[in-house]
Amino acid sequence: MKHRVAIISVGNTEYTSLRRETRSKAELAFAAIKEALDEVRISIEDIDACVFTSVDGFEGNVRPARVLESFGQAHNVPLIDVNTGGSAGGSGVKEAVHLISAGIYELVLVYGSPTFNEVVDNQQVLNTASPPIFEKPFGLGAAHMGSLYGARYMREYNLTARELAQVAAKNHKAAVSNPFAHIRAGYTTEEVLNSPMVAWPLHLYEICPVSSGAVAMLFASEEKAKELCDTPVWVEAMSSIADTFLSGYKVYKDFENLKILAQRIYKEVGIKKPREELDVVEIFNPFAPFELLAYEALGFCEEGQGVNLMKEGATEIDGDIPCNPSGGVLCTNSGISASVTRHAEVALQLMGKAEGRQVKSPERGLAHSWGGNDGQFHTVAILSR
């Protein structure tokens, strides 16, 4: 990158369910952004640009950013709207990183919108993202898309229902200690297996909840970062990838394009053994199988070995490659907020500010986001202290 880029603060709200939500969308945006600004003692007019990220059409308003007043519009701050499905948070972070690394701006705010906090039925709304003539009529919601991966992956590598439930239970256990997690019930493997089957082979507790809550992050140039922050987290590299949109085009036994993206970004920063060279990882895992698929695509283990990596305890908070110490998207999915949160969580870990879920002195981490129908988009960021 031309100029160094740092993450200098994170603003997080509490997360809850849609039914329990009492805050308006405007109040959520205000709360998250205000906290990020206050953390480094600056005002909204100090930011050079704001990147808003959500999925067009999912918020009961095709252009939600335009009706919120939290992005510095009162001070004529430029507002940039980024949408790449579920990975929009990663793409928004990438946009902020580019703007600063190019030397265009010094302080950029990224806001992850609570994409689903108006929906009456989330799967109904997610179904509208399917290609309307070729796939939408068949009743694909997000849960079904996740299940297509689950079915093929389980069959390909003889993964049992219990093993898949263990992946979910690992995340539920971690979320208990995360004050910013939505589902903190700590469901066990047994409870996961006994939860209702929603879209075979996925049970209810192997599928993310629909959460409400929001996150903001502040990105700064090296000069600004050193002026405003004692614990800046540096962006070593940030990259994204895309492939074809249709669900029918996927093979479902691996995250092929994430594998390509990981190789590209590891090469860029000189990582040869990711399992040894990364200290904390946040994977976009709205469905339990995604965590295993991502372990493999990110090169932490061979194909089909994800479950063994998990069983060894390597990916637990005290393992050698901790993955989702936050409990991941599986326990908190506030839409695009959740894909910004992967970056916020890794940044907080590297700052030593991950209250209740802190990994022991991490130096370098990876944040992943996933989006589009069945994974058209992935983003990966490598962050370090």
Partner 1 sequence: MASTEFMNKEYNMHLDFSVSLGPAYTKWMKALGEKKILANKCSKCGRHFVPAKPFCEICFEPIDEWIETDGEGIVESFTIGYAKFRNLPDPPYVIGVIRVGPSAVSMVHWIAGFPYDKPEDIPDKIQIGMKVKPVWAEERKGDLLDIRYFEPA
Indicate which single residue of 90, 141, 322, 372 sits in contact with partner 1 (rule: CB under 8 A): 141
Q: Tokens 């996740």 correspond to what residue?
A: 146
The smaller minimum CB distance to partner 1, of residues 177 and 257, is found at 257
Show contacts with partner 1 in window 297-326 (CB under 8 A): none
123 near partner 1 (CB under 8 A): yes
The rounded Cα 32 to chain-centroid distance in angstroms is 16
Before 201, cis peptide (omega within 30)?
A: yes
Closest contact distance (angstroms) between CB of 197 and partner 1 is: 5
The interface mask with partner 1, positions 173-202, x = CB under 8 A, is: -----------------------xxxxxxx
Q: List Cβ neighbours of 267 (8 Å cut-off, separation of 6 or more).
A: none
Contact 214, 336 (CB under 8 A): no
Three-state DSSP class for 380? strand
DSSP classification of residue 247: G
Show contacts with partner 1 in window 49-88 (CB under 8 A): 60
Distance from C-alpha of 126 to C-alpha of 250, rounded to nearest angstrom: 18
Closest contact distance (angstroms) between CB of 292 and partner 1 is: 15
103 near partner 1 (CB under 8 A): no
Closest contact distance (angstroms) between CB of 247 and partner 1 is: 6
Total residues at interface with partner 1 (CB under 8 A): 40
Indicate which single residue of 26, 45, 102, 139 sits in contact with partner 1 (rule: CB under 8 A): 139
- Say what the alpha-carbon torsion angle 172, 54, 121, 130 is, to the nearest 10 degrees: -110
158 near partner 1 (CB under 8 A): no
249 near partner 1 (CB under 8 A): yes
270 near partner 1 (CB under 8 A): no
16 near partner 1 (CB under 8 A): no
Question: Which residue from 172, 120, 93, 148 is spatially nearest to 332, judged by alpha carbons?
Answer: 172
Question: Which residue from 233, 284, 216, 240 is spatially nearest to 381, judged by alpha carbons?
Answer: 240
Contact 89, 343 (CB under 8 A): yes
Residues of this chain that interact with partner 1 (CB under 8 A) are 22, 60, 120-121, 123-124, 127, 132-135, 137-141, 143-144, 147-152, 155, 196-202, 244, 246-252
